[in-house]
């Protein structure tokens, strides 16, 4: 999104398709996180990995959902108190973080993968509570905390879980993951959108969707600590992301800069595509 916004492509057909497909991809990954605790039902041998009882998982998810509905319902009254008419500017960022971490704690009571799901609901509640006129300023504060403090801590834990020796033992596995992931995104985007966007722009769309530092990283980490994938496979997945993402983030802006004018000449995106 920041790259698309920098080149003023968010409202183009290309930008809307990129964001829409990326959002769908995140939704599928979130559903994967939800399904992980239920795997012992289909694979009974996984009980030895310390999976929670699926009944408790369902109860936790229902509780999070009910809590979200209740807080969203009372959001209008709280939003009025936090409006610009009252000097509560120092409380709003604190309230956002309190909501976020509270939902994370509630979700992680049963299983770690539910913490990520719960955090999403916490974001829905926080967005409902914040006055619209204050949202941008509060968002900058939260983004600063997330990008400067929380994200480095998470990526450090991800890197510490890797086995660097396996990276040198299985370099072919990393190459296969790189080729298969990039190839799948490029070929899929080309086959589906070459008539809508053209050949060049459809490949550019697939390139933008190949960035892998997203919810998928959380899925891989949870699969590792749950014993569902080996340390060698996990290390190869993370190593391929480390190699792929910086390259894409260099090539993609360069390509968008060259194709910006032709992308902007496309017809405005229809509501169905958005």
- pLDDT tens figures, 69-128: 888 888 777 776 666 555 556 676 777 778 888 888 888 777 776 777 788 888 888 777
Phi and psi for 61 in degrees, rounded to 5?
-65, -40
Q: Work out the average pLDDT over 5-18.
A: 80
pLDDT at 2 over 80: no
Binned at pLDDT 50, 70 and 90, residue 268 comes out as low
Alpha helices in the chain (DSSP H): 2-6, 13-35, 39-42, 54-73, 75-81, 91-108, 113-129, 135-145, 151-160, 164-169, 171-197, 199-208, 215-225, 231-264
Which of helix, strand or coil describes residue 49? helix
DSSP-assigned states of every residue in 122-179 = HHHHHHHHS-GGGHHHHHHHHHHHIIIIIHHHHHHHHHHT--HHHHHH-HHHHHHHHH
Q: Which two tokens stand for residue 222?
A: 């949870």
Q: What is the pLDDT of residue 81?
A: 65
- Give whichever of 49-58, 75-84, 206-215, 227-236 has the largest mean pLDDT: 227-236
Q: How many CA atoms lie within 13 A of 86 on its CB side?
A: 10
Binned at pLDDT 50, 70 and 90, residue 229 comes out as confident
Dist. CA 119–CA 26, nearest whole Å: 14
pLDDT at 192 over 80: yes
Binned at pLDDT 50, 70 and 90, residue 273 comes out as very low
Q: What is the pLDDT of residue 272?
A: 46
pLDDT at 271 over 60: no
Dist. CA 153–CA 150, nearest whole Å: 5
> Could you state, in order of their start, the residue ranges of all structural domains in the chain?
1-28+163-274, 52-160
Inter-CA distances, 126 with 2, 97, 119, 144, Å: 22, 9, 10, 16
DSSP 47: G
The residue with greater pLDDT, 54 or 194, is 194
Q: Work out the average pLDDT over 205-223.
A: 77
pLDDT at 31 over 50: yes
Q: How many CA atoms lie within 13 A of 17 on its CB side?
A: 23
Q: Work out the average pLDDT over 132-140.
A: 66
Residue 142 burial by Cβ neighbours in a 10 Å radius (0-12, 13-18, 19+): middle
pLDDT at 274 over 60: no
Q: Work out the average pLDDT over 40-64.
A: 70
Dist. CA 109–CA 142, nearest whole Å: 24
pLDDT at 183 over 70: yes
Q: Is 130 in contact with 92 (CB distance < 8 Å)?
A: yes
pLDDT at 53 over 50: yes
Q: What is the pLDDT of residue 87?
A: 59
Dist. CA 131–CA 142, nearest whole Å: 15
Report the chain's mean pLDDT, rounded to a whole number. 76
pLDDT at 68 over 80: yes
- Give whichever of 8-12, 146-150, 176-180 has the largest mean pLDDT: 176-180
Binned at pLDDT 50, 70 and 90, residue 219 comes out as confident
What is the C-alpha radius of gyration for the chain, rounded to an integer number of angstroms? Answer: 21
Binned at pLDDT 50, 70 and 90, residue 148 comes out as confident
């Amino acid at each position: 999104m920041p790259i698309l916004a920098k080149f003023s492509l968010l409202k183009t057909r290309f930008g809307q398709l990129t964001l829409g497909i990326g959002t769908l991809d995140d939704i599928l990954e979130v559903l994967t996180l939800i399904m992980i605790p239920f795997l012992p039902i289909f694979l009974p041998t996984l009980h030895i990995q310390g999976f929670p009882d699926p009944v408790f998982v369902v109860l936790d998810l229902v509780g999070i959902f009910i809590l979200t509905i209740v807080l969203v319902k009372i959001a209008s009254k709280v939003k009025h108190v936090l409006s610009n008419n009252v000097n509560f500017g120092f409380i709003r960022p604190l309230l956002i973080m309190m909501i976020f971490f509270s939902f994370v704690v509630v979700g992680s009571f049963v299983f770690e993968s539910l913490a990520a799901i719960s955090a999403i609901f916490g974001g829905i509640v926080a967005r409902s509570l914040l006055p619209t006129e204050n949202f941008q300023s509060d968002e900058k504060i939260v983004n600063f905390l997330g990008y400067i403090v929380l994200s480095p801590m998470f990526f450090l834990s991800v890197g510490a879980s890797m086995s660097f020796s396996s990276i040198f033992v299985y370099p072919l596995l990393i190459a296969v993951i790189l080729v298969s992931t990039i190839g799948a995104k490029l070929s899929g985007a080309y086959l589906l959108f070459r008539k809508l966007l053209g050949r060049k722009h459809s490949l550019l769309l697939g390139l933008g969707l190949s960035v892998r530092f997203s919810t998928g990283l959380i899925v891989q980490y949870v699969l590792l600590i749950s014993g569902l994938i080996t340390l060698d496979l996990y290390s190869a997945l993370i190593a391929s992301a480390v190699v792929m993402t910086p390259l894409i983030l260099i090539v993609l802006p360069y390509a968008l800069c060259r194709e910006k004018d032709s992308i902007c000449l496309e017809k405005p995106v229809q509501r169905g595509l958005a």
